[in-house]
Amino acid sequence: MGQNIKCPVPQSQRPLNEYSNLKQSFGFMWTTKDTLSFFKTSIFLILSFASIATVVVSSTPNWENNILSSILQVGMSSMIFFILLLLRVYLAWKYVYKRLIKSTLSYEESGWYDGQTWIKHPEILIQDRLAGIYEVLPILKKLELSLTISSAVLSISIVIYIIK
C-alpha cells in the first residue's frame, strides 16, 4: 500500500492480508499450488478419506458378502468428505475474493460489530483487484472444476449403488 494512504481498516481485516494469511494457512496452501500438484493432493486426500472409510465399512457385519457394495460405500463416503472439504475451502477463498474485488470494505474497529465501511483508495483497489483476478480467481476455478468432477463421480456412484 502507498505510504501516504490512510487506511482505517485493522491489518487483520485488510483483504490483501486476509489473502496472504489464507494462502499460508495449512488447510488452504495446497490449493495455491500448480494444477498438477493440486490434483495430486486432491487424489491423496480422497485416498486418505477412502482408507478411513474402508476401516468403517469393513467393521460392519457381512461386508465381505458383497464386495461391490462395500467398494461403492467406501468410494461414496470418501467423495462426500472430499466434497465437504472442497466446499469449506471454496467458501473461504470466495469470501476473500469478494473482499478483494469490491471497491468498499466493511470492517470492525472494535470487538463488537460496528459496521464501518471504507471506500478503497484507487491505488489499493487496483492492487486488491489484481490479486483477486490473477491469484484468487484461478484457485476458485480449480476448486469449481474439482467440485464438479467430484459431484459427478459421487452421483455416478450413487446411481450404480442403487441399480446394483
105-159 residue pLDDT tens = 988 876 666 678 889 999 999 999 999 999 999 999 999 999 999 999 999 999 9
Residue 1: the pLDDT is: 45
Report the alpha-carbon angle 70-75-76, nearest 5: 100
Query: What is the rounded distance in angstroms from the CA atom of residue 118 to the CA atom of residue 105?
Result: 5
User: How far are the Cα atoms of 5, 71, 146, 154 from residue 101, in angstroms, in the given order?
Assistant: 19, 44, 23, 33
Judge whether 155 and 63 are in contact, CB under 8 Å: no
**SS3 helix, strand, coil % of the chain, rounded to 5?**
75, 5, 20
46-57 pLDDT, tens digit per residue, is 999 999 999 988
- pLDDT at res. 106: 87
- Number of Cβ within a 10 Å radius of residue 94: 15
Average pLDDT over residues 61-73: 84
- pLDDT in the model for residue 116: 81
Average pLDDT in the 4-26 region?
89
Q: What's the pLDDT score for residue 121?
A: 92
